[in-house]
Chain A
Amino acid sequence: MDADAVDARSFAASDPISAGRTIRVLLQPKLLSALGRGVSGRTLGRRIPTLLLSAAGAFVLLFLVATRLLGGLREVPEVGPLLASKLLGLALLLFFGILLLSNLIAALSSFFLARDLATVHEAPVDWFGLYGARLLETLAGSSWMVLLMLLPVLAAYQSVYGGGPLFYGLVLLTLVPYLLIPAALGSAITLVLVRVFPARRTRDILAFVSVIAGALLVVGLRVLRPERLVNPEGFRNLVDFLEVLRAPSSPWLPSEWMAQTLIGHLEGGFDPFWLWLLWSTAAALVAGGAWLHFRLYPRGFTRAQQGAESGRRGSALWTAFARLLAPLGLERREMILKDARLFFRDATQWSQLLVLGVLLFVYVYNIQVLPIRSNEIMSRFLVSMVVFLNLALAGFILAAVAARFVFPAYSLEGRTLWLLRSSPLEPDTFVWSKYWSGAVPLLVLALLLTLLTNRILAVGPGIMALSLVSICALTLALVAQALAWGVAMPRFETGNAAQIPTSLGGMLFMLGALGTLAAVLVSQFLALRGYVRSGLPWRETRDPTGVELGIALGATLAITLVTGVWPYLVAKRRIREVGVPG
């Protein structure tokens, strides 16, 4: 029978009762398996407290930072509250962009590529129920991490500006449509893409498109030059500056509507128009999405099941790469070669390199245009501070890149692990290969970043050497941590590399990585504080002494050695113990 005929039959008219029942039935196994993943087996005792502690820790940390920032702004008369309002709009805009991209990818997985879809389509499920269930699944998968970051920020606004319990009610009322809009929009765009582009290529195209969109978002935000807002001298007068702050920065976007609703309430001028706009847009998008689903999904789903990529894949480039790796020994060479092939043949993975390129560009550009030379008296002090900031930001970028590329390395082996485990491949060789195939590209990136930016900042040879050694040591430690968390908390069930770092393990890795980075920064700052202070205008300037550099270097190496070697050993031990998915 024609597949479309089958689909058309199951797409009969929907009724609310059967749709509701379908949503409940379809979501139940997802909920149960999500809970099962959190509390299963012998990890029960360790995982739940770790999860709660990490979430609470992240919440408190973000809340404190946001409260401090907002508290400081509140003290600034006239401009402070406006800046706070602007900041909320910007944060919500950034999160909205992340949500849209994340929903695009999640929708492809939940609507078209999920393993349970064949079973679902065999059953006489209500079409609207299926749409609702998959929409909620897409929303949940894409939004929980944003929520975790957004809620403490909103709590900080309530804490600083008051607003009473009603504020939380408004948060709930605005959050639902704020999350629903990108989910419905992302699902609809994915549906159209699957309908237009052939078969499984959509996944590659989507990965590419979302990466380009992400890159444009980053470049766009940079071009907006938000730093102008903290530099009132750039405006003709205070009135102009206040006008810029007062004007909604993106009145056509739901992020601004949510910001206006919440800020309006905090300032005592709540306007229901923005809330109405949020809900009506969300309702219209869900209705439109459902209609599109009804019209396009059956044929789109059929297309998504067809044809895989084929063609000759042998190339002189791979042969040359294999020769280059020959000194590593056969097993290591084959492991690295295999990983490289899988990486460059999967658009969801290689396309992320474009993000890296954009990040690198924006980062170096920002250092280039830093206004540190506008004030010659302060410039030496600022440069010495920016060196620390540079290490912090480069470290953060490296942590994010390790989360994207190294953390998923073990999870991606997934159901093919039987092949490695039944072979005589030593677990140590496996960990070694995974470690160095992540570490080498990251080291190149780290050195490139630090060299370029330090040259722009014209730092002395001592600081340059310290920065280069520090960033290398930090990279090696972060890669070990990413690998260890990836082995300890794998996500075998998803084939999409981009989704794996958004798991709990990915979040824990990021927290650990940021902790390592903070420890390195604090120890270096303490060791070099005499040199930093010498840059102050009323002091005699001098270069860092050998002892200062030695202490800073020693502390950095000690921290990175402990936080690098220990996770590496944990990864080696875990790899022997951890089971193979069935």
Chain B
Amino acid sequence: MIRLEGLTKRYGSFTAVDGIDLEARRGELFGLLGPNGAGKTSTLRMIAGILRPDAGRVLVDGFDVVGDPYRAKARLGYIPDRPFVYEKLTGTELLRFVAGLYGQQGPEIEDRIRELLALWDLEGWADELVEAYSHGMRQKLIISSALVHRPRALVIDEPMVGLDPRAARLLKDLLRAFADSGGTALISTHTLEFAEALCDRLAVIAEGRIIALGTMDELRAQAESAESGLEQVFLRLTGGESQRELMRVLAG
């Protein structure tokens, strides 16, 4: 459903994403893990069509995001890590505007907007300006905006930021149901418990390259760390384990 082929992004002489190949299949929740600055956000922004790749390509449902952006983006919903939206629109107006960008309007969309706002307990805020929303409420609104046009694939950058435990649980259930109904989600996260509990497959990315890819068991095998949790596997793969041991020695 989401296929990356030799995806590369450079900022001047710095290569943020270095020839990544991966595929998130239909009905799959795919986790993207990696230390800060590994290239996760750049990768997701290229998939969403916000950044242009310097080499390689992104296919969404077979459509090239650069070559055929209209059809590729129409199938995609993007949730960024920081909830910047138009502060002087109301929640309803924002969702209606986003639906309009995807060429959708009418009674069905109005019902969908009401349904999404109700899902996140935002009905009472529907006609309030976004500037009055808290950080978590904005995050809920952005998740709603990514779902309003009924996408086939979701690209999510740090989904849990700002969400209260109840909303976090709701998001997990929502993503599972989305995948069960044939949707695909590519999720970048630092919340390892979330990734371990939810994702069908995971990729660990460091210095712009994929250093491990597979199911949780396959990652354990690659890290030669049988029976250990994702945190251990992650630290071993990304070189953080040695630092942790050093800290332990220094702490006496």
Contact = CB atoms under 8 A, between A and B. Distances in A.
Contacts of B131: 308-309
Nearest to A423: B101
Contact of B84 (A312, A342, A415): A415
A308 B93 contact: no
B67 to A, nearest CB: 13
A267 interface: no
Interface in B74-92: 74, 76, 78, 80, 82, 84-90, 92
Given A309-B131, A310-B128, A424-B74, A419 B89 contact: no
Categorize the interface residue count of chain B. Answer: 35 or more
A313 interface: yes
Contacts of A309: 129, 131-132
B85 A419 contact: yes
A424 B101 contact: yes
B103 interface: yes
B139 interface: no
B49 interface: yes
A416 interface: yes
Contact of B127 (A313, A330, A414, A415): A313
Interface string B52-95: 10000000000000000111011010101010111111101100
Contacts of A338: 86, 89, 93, 97
Contacts of A346: 88
Contacts of A345: 88, 129
A422 B76 contact: yes
B105 interface: yes
A331 B74 CA distance: 13
Given A342-B88, A422-B49, A423-B102, A308 B129 contact: yes
Contacts of A465: none
A270 interface: no
Contact of B73 (A334, A417, A424): A424
B50 A341 contact: no
A341 B12 CA distance: 38
A424 B69 contact: yes
A330 B103 contact: yes
A66 to B, nearest CB: 43
B48 interface: yes
B93 A341 contact: yes
A577 to B, nearest CB: 8
Contact of A314 (B49, B90, B97): B90
A416 B92 CA distance: 17
B100 interface: yes
A416 B103 contact: no
B20 interface: no
Contact of A341 (B48, B71, B89): B89
B148 to A, nearest CB: 11
A334 B97 contact: yes
20 contacts: A308-B132, A309-B131, A312-B127, A313-B90, A313-B127, A314-B127, A331-B100, A333-B100, A334-B101, A338-B89, A342-B88, A345-B88, A414-B84, A418-B78, A419-B85, A420-B101, A422-B48, A422-B78, A424-B102, A577-B52
6 tightest A-B contacts by CB? Answer: A334-B100, A415-B84, A423-B101, A308-B131, A345-B88, A422-B78
Interface of A: 41, 307-314, 330-331, 333-334, 337-338, 341-342, 345-346, 414-426, 577, 579-580, 582
